[in-house]
Structure 1
Amino acid sequence: MKKYFQLKNLFLIVFTVTLASCSKTEDIPQDIEINDFVWGGMNAYYKWQGIIPDLSDNRFSTREQLNSYLSGTGTPDELFNSLLSYPNEFPKDPNRVFSWITSDYIALENSFQGIRLTSGLKLVAIPYADNSGNAYVVVRDVVTGSDADIKGITRGMIISEVNGTQITTGNVSQLFEPNNFTVSLADYNGGNPTTNGTIINIVKSEVTENPIKVATIINEGANRIGYLMYNQFASDFDDELNQAFANFQTGGITDLVLDLRYNGGGSVASAVYLSSMITGQFNGEVFANKIWNEKVMANFSADNFIDRFTDRIVKKDSNGNTILDETINSLNLSTVYIIVSEQTASASELIINCLRPYIDVKLVGTETVGKQVASITLYDSDDYTRNGPNFNASHTWAMQPIVLEIQNRDGQNEPNGFTAEVQIAEDNSNLGVLGDPTEPLLERTIQYITTGARGTNFSFTSEVEKPIWNSNMKNLDYNNMYIQFK
């Protein structure tokens, strides 16, 4: 049974020790209430709180001093950003701190479950081969039921103009921001696409995306290969994920291909469930260790910082009522094949990292992002939970700060990302159909399964350029890994 991490009163403890004579609820001027929430939550939980001078427990000796500081820190997002650290934990890019604040926690909560205002287009931008500064975008996927899907846009299509404006390396992000826009389709033309006269109008709408894109069984000689393309660790779909594994069980699969090439992460709990579905023979053993800041680690027992393999999915509502309790359908595999890319991050990397002490994890694709840290959602209440005492309903600000590092059973992680032993990048001129055995990355993985041969490496070259932008970057939960905060 899953144990929810109980950290409800840590800030109250710290605040009481630091400002013993002050009342949090009575001594805060209304114009700094939100900034007080920001500072308090970061002081209690931010992973690098101990090295930020303005977050020090000894920074303020009275409530008046703290109030004076907060009144001069600007807007909530300005204060939040001023408190962030740029530590050495991110050697590939030290500025990727992965923490953020939002003025709309409803949109944030929805994004965790795949509910977004979206065109349905999942895009990457590639510079023109002629080095002109122009760029084109390739449709890597389309969300089922979105306007782009309804209008007939499919994987592999190329877009060179938006609202009649040529895409460039500098304007690509802003061109796709409007809620209503037209796209001009183009022909590849050796990496210098030319428009072909097809123009399609796209309107964004709120769509719920099922993260289980494809779940099928492929027969390849004596091998019955289960293929799962899973695009987000969204807890609302854990039961459907479990059903997919029931189908794999019934189908008698001999091998599993887990396609995480576009999966930027999500719920750690869902990652534990998925890993338990892939295995099953390690129930109760350590899946991951969570390393919080020193204050948190000192105030709770060691078991609070461990996630374990499990044989059940158990979920409760905000009132503690059980809403789902079912046996996990486990495959008891000793090997898993995972397709990865430059968009594979956080909870996807957690799967790789935490399974590898137990089973053989074989990777096909390109190097992953490298993100071994996780966040929680903090709200403006006494204990920073959504249903906590004195919840401030006068605003919708929430924070998603990095609060912990996650290591596997052996204390390992890979901040530089994971490198696939079978290296193959997607060919923008020939993406193939997801789930089809002839799709290039899946085809190479099947070859690896059936022959053991890795084949010739095919990574980013002058013909297959590395993306400079992808449309998932605009999502509130981009490359996020989070735990449930109760």
Structure 2
Amino acid sequence: MKFTKALILIFTVSFITTSCFKDDDDNQISASSINDFVWKGMNTFYLYKNNIPNLANDRFTSNITYVDYLNSHSSPEDLFESLIHQRETVDKYSWIVDDYIALEQLFSGVSTSNGMEFKLFLEPNSSTKVIGIVRLVLANSDAENKGLKRGDVFNAINGTPLTTNNYSRLLASNSYKINLATYNTNNTSETSDDTVASKNESITLNKLQYSENPIYKTKVITVKGENVGYLMYNGFTANYDSQLNAAFANFKANNVKHLILDLRYNPGGAVNSAILLSSMITGQFNGEIFSTEAWNTEFQTFFENQNPELLINRFTNNNKGTALNSLNLQKVYILATDASASASELVINSLDPYINVIHIGDFTTGKYQASTTLYDSDDFGREGANPNHAYAMQPLIFKSLNKVGNTDYDNGLTPDIQIKESYTNLGVLGDENETLLAAALANIEGSIIKLETIKSKSKPFLKSIKDSNSFEPFNNEMHVEKKLPTDLKRRNFNE
């Protein structure tokens, strides 16, 4: 499981609930304390509060009606889901968990993973059979240690053929055996004669505790006498910001004039890491607006009246006092696909008003909202959390905008050069002949003929179903530590 995968904001904050009635210590009516936590947290923070009538401050006239409402829901999950605004189209990323310890481990970079990232497709000429194709094998993982390779095909788990009805269950186990297969195009461009043949070969994969270094590959390539830096970056992880800065130091030492940033499988991560990366790419915009935030009406009004700067994220020239190795580029080439989300999109969107961003690949995920971790405590913070349960919530609380106000890209960011990866011919990541990297190099070289040839050869034809990032609810997260000032703490908007 990827550990930094939607836009998540984690900060230290102390707010009390905004309910329209006061708690009555003399009233002995009992309600689920977890459901009480869910409603009050959503009532206070939820970005789309105004769209949910049951979250209105005047929804309940007494404790009795409030308790009856809470008790009408069978579980915290049931209540939480009933308060989500347009789950399928608008809010696809708010979540509730019953184990915040595991959640905290994810955000700190610790997860369980077998190291195999993949994408699932319908088998040609079938509406039910499913195949998986490995797109990335994480370094020093169980999958790498057992010889799994990018481009490997599998069509069964533990000997059971994958279908549209069973793939979620079969791939959810912590340990399973993938049965390998061969995809045959029969040397034609048609799919009607394509076949998938099972091989008498399998690999058992185990999900183990794993900490991923998001700096997957760096390389310097020479094009027409100028050095081109290539960086494949797979997650915005604060623990690796220093290593990221070191990678850019190497680019500077090699007098890199062009940069290809590969975010094709990057689902997101820390907002601050996105700011640092963007500041390393540029450097000439220190202190300028990187992105701004739009919260629910009550928070937005308070911020604008009391401290508008809290709504602004700015470019920087240092990381905790250490100078950034910035390239001062006026153009960047970013490889991004439908697996690029959240912080990846934030980088593309926020750099766009300042420099020429050449987005090569496909439409991105379309994730521009942020969420926060809420605990069942008086101020929704970690300290003092109810010891009787481990529930926590991740509701969306704001959306990000770039300097000129661009946001709400529900259908993803549009590529400048659209080239879809062909999963039957993925190539080697970092190799100059790999399709997306080759397209970027051709563009830098100024070879229109070469670029058109690459585009013509990249014709994916498999119908995709799902990728490995989608198997976890927190697969598109972006988080940032943001401590609010004292005058915002313990504030009740109804006072």
TM-score scaled to structure 2, two decimals? 0.88
2:243 & 2:28 partners in 1: Cα distance? Answer: 46
Matched, 1:362 2:340: no
Q: Which residue does 1:484 correspond to in 2?
A: 481
Q: Give runs of aligned pairs for residues 163-202 of structure 1, distance below 5 A.
A: 163-190=158-185, 191-202=194-205
In the alignment, which of 371, 377, 385 is matched to residue 381 of structure 1?
377
Q: Which residue among 398, 412, 417 is the counterpart of 2:412?
A: 417
AA paired with 1:193? Answer: V
Q: Mark the CA change 1:5 to 1:155 in structure 2 (over 3 Å): closer, same or farther.
A: closer
The whole-number CA distance in structure 1 between the counterparts of 2:473 and 2:246 is 28
Structure 2, unpaired ranges of 5+? 1-8, 186-193, 484-495
Query: Which letter does structure 2 place at the counterpart of 1:220?
Result: V
How far off its partner does 1:464 sit?
Answer: 3.0
**CA deviation digits over 1:293-343, x for unaligned, max 9?**
0011122221111101111223xxxxxxxxxx4222211111000001111
The match for 1:391 is 385
Q: Which of the numbers 446, 469, 473 marks the counterpart of 2:441?
A: 446
Q: Note the C-alpha offset of 1:221.
A: 2.9
1:313 maps to 2:319:
yes
1:261 maps onto 2:264 in alignment: yes
1:206-237 per-residue CA deviation (whole Å, 9 max, x = no partner) reads 11111111122122231211111111112221
Range with greater deviation from structure 2 (38-47 or 260-269): 260-269
Q: CA deviation at 1:95?
A: 5.7
Q: What displacement does 1:66 show?
A: 2.2
Larger displacement relative to structure 2 (240-249 or 127-136): 127-136
Q: For the residues of structure 2 that align with 1:475 and 1:106, how far apart are their CA atoms?
A: 16
**Aligned-CA RMSD value:** 2.2
Would you say 1:143 and 2:127 are equivalent positions?
A: no
Cα deviation for residue 34 of structure 1 reads 1.2
> What is the distance in 1 between the residues matched to 2:165 and 2:28?
44
Counterpart in 2 of 1:161?
156
Aligned 8 A contact 2:155 2:162 in 1: yes
Q: Which residue of 2 aligns with 1:8?
A: 13
1:51 aligns with 2:51: yes
Which amino acid counterpart does residue 274 of structure 1 have in structure 2? Answer: L
> How big is the shift at 1:140?
0.4
- CA deviation after TM superposition for structure 1 residue 459, in Å: 9.1
> Is 1:437–1:443's contact at 8 Å kept on the other side of the alignment?
yes
1:91-142 superposed Cα distances (whole Å, 9 cap, x missing partner): xx61652111111112222223442212211010111122252121100011
| 2:290 partner SS | strand
Assess if the C-alpha contact under 8 Å between 1:134 and 1:168 holds in 2. Answer: yes
Deviation of 1:460 (Å) = 7.7
Q: Give the Cα–Cα distance (whole angstroms) in 2 for the partners of residues 232 and 360 of structure 1.
A: 23
CA distance in 2, matches of 1:458, 1:64: 66
AA of the residue aligned to 1:474: F
Alpha-carbon contact 2:353-2:403 (below 8 Å) kept: yes
Aligned length: 460
Cα–Cα, structure 1 residues 95 and 479, in superposed 2: closer, same or farther, change >3 Å? same
CA distance in 2, matches of 1:204, 1:6: 30
Conserved? CA contact 1:353–1:412, under 8 Å:
yes
Cα separation, partners in 2 of 1:458 and 1:418, compared to 1, 3 Å: farther
Structure 1: gaps spanning 5 or more residues: 88-92, 315-324
| Contact 1:422/1:455 (<8 A) preserved | no
Q: Distance in 2 between matches of 1:31 and 1:240?
A: 49
Provide the rounded CA distance (Å) in 1 between the counterparts of 2:58 and 2:241: 43
1:245 is aligned to 248
What letter is aligned with 1:289? T
Q: Which runs of 4+ in 1 moved over 6 A?
A: 4-7, 26-30
1:45-90 CA-partner distances (Å, limit 9, x unpaired) = 1001112111111112333432332122221111100100118xxx
Give secondary structure in 1 for the equivalent of 2:415. Answer: coil
Normalising by structure 1, report the TM-score: 0.89
Aligned 1:74-93 pairs, distance under 5 A: 74-86=74-86
> Which residue number corresponds to residue 125 of structure 1?
120
